[in-house]
Amino acid sequence: MIQPQVTTNVSRTLWMCAMWTCLWGVHAQVEFRAVGGQGEEFGEVVVPHGSGAFLLGSTQLPNTQDVRGYVVHYDQNLDVDWTALTPGDVMFEMAMDGWSDEPGVVDVLTWRLTTADGYHAAIHSFDSTGVWRGITVPPLTQGFRPTCSVEWLGERWVVGAIGNRPTAISLETGELKHWGGENGVNDEIRDAMVVNNLLVSVGSRTEAGQTRTAIWGMYPLGQMAFEFHQPDTVPQTWSQAEALALGLNGNVRVLQSYERNLPSGGGALLHSLISLNALTGNLNGFLYGPTAGERPGRDLAFTEGGWLKLTQTDVVTALDQSMLLTHYTPGGGYVGQGAWGTLFEDDPSRLTVDSLGQIWVAGSTRGA
């Protein structure tokens, strides 16, 4: 376990945690890196490549309210090579996702606000030496709130929402696909993936003042394959899906956070897993986690060794709010877990498993 670091710093700093070898090994090597200044900074996702890794996040510039995308490159020794802000005359810009379609090059998906175009999506490209290679603004994205990207129908699509409607936009053709967003509801997307040519997206639906987990499956031509709103009854006041991952035989698991009232009074912020078969559209069941505390879900992944669940947790009192990574077998059996962090609040965002089985986690901390 990473030893807590004592500090009086109250700003929020980007951090990256890398777990070498495999989580389920007896002695996994763990590296923890933090970078940033005195402002509010949030790590979103790590994009590893052959000679290092890109940490993508956002930062609030000193003495201003301006928010910009923030890119950090680490070399093979996990030392900081360089840092860069996403350039441009913008009032607001946040990194939402990233990918690498070319060795040593990262594309950064951002949500930005400009005086000319309002809120829209943009994609910045950087190489591993720190050179900014340019920006692409997809067409028809005014008012679009991007969440993530997927490879679908042989193209890269960006998934998010326009107004109250979930939306997917092809970066190659500009084609738009909409779903959900009926009158009187507001649908939001948190994550998406492609399963057997179905676009499966998860997030929440707000209706009559209540926000509940929502799951959608859409065929390539735009028809709905399945749709679930509030799939279980345990969440009482609020819930939303955070992430999803594909296991064996079309089995998809959805990680949701939810609030629940406690018998002793007060409430708890918890998480659980929803299992469904994307090939049949049937719900398989639910796997509930802790029953008390502040333990929201953050991300989920599936590897050859099983499922990896990323959450924020208060289970280790010496670490305050920290990162918790839990490992399950491919069939869902519990294997083990580990918590990492500082003496202050740590909040993970996303996890990435590279081609060598190494696990990377992005997040932020108030204690670096």
- Look over the chain and give the mean of its residue pLDDT values, rounded to a whole number: 88
Query: What per-residue confidence (pLDDT) applies to 20?
Result: 57
- Domain ranges for the chain: 34-137, 153-355
Task: Give the model's confidence band at 310: pLDDT under 50 very low, under 70 low, under 90 confident, else very high.
Answer: very high
Task: Give the model's confidence band at 209: pLDDT under 50 very low, under 70 low, under 90 confident, else very high.
Answer: very high
Collect all residues with Cβ–Cβ distance below 8 Å to 333 and sequence separation of at least 6. Answer: none
> With contact defined as beta carbons under 8 Å apart, do 318 and 340 qualify?
no
Measured CA to CA, the distance from residue 24 to residue 306 in angstroms comes to 10
Query: What per-residue confidence (pLDDT) applies to 318?
Result: 72
Q: What is the mean pLDDT of residues 94-113?
A: 96
Task: Give the model's confidence band at 368: pLDDT under 50 very low, under 70 low, under 90 confident, else very high.
Answer: low
Q: Report the largest interatomic distance among the alpha carbons of the chain, rounded to a whole angstrom.
A: 56
Q: Look at 315 and 248; give whichever has higher pLDDT.
A: 248
pLDDT per residue as tens digits for the range 34-83: 787 666 788 999 999 988 999 999 998 777 878 999 999 999 999 999 99
For the chain, the straight-line distance linking the first and the last C-alpha, in angstroms and rounded, comes to 16
pLDDT per residue as tens digits for the range 222-265: 999 999 999 988 888 899 999 999 999 999 999 999 998 877 76
The CATH number fitting domain 153-355, selected from 3.40.50.300, 2.30.29.30, 2.120.10.10, 3.30.43.10? 2.120.10.10
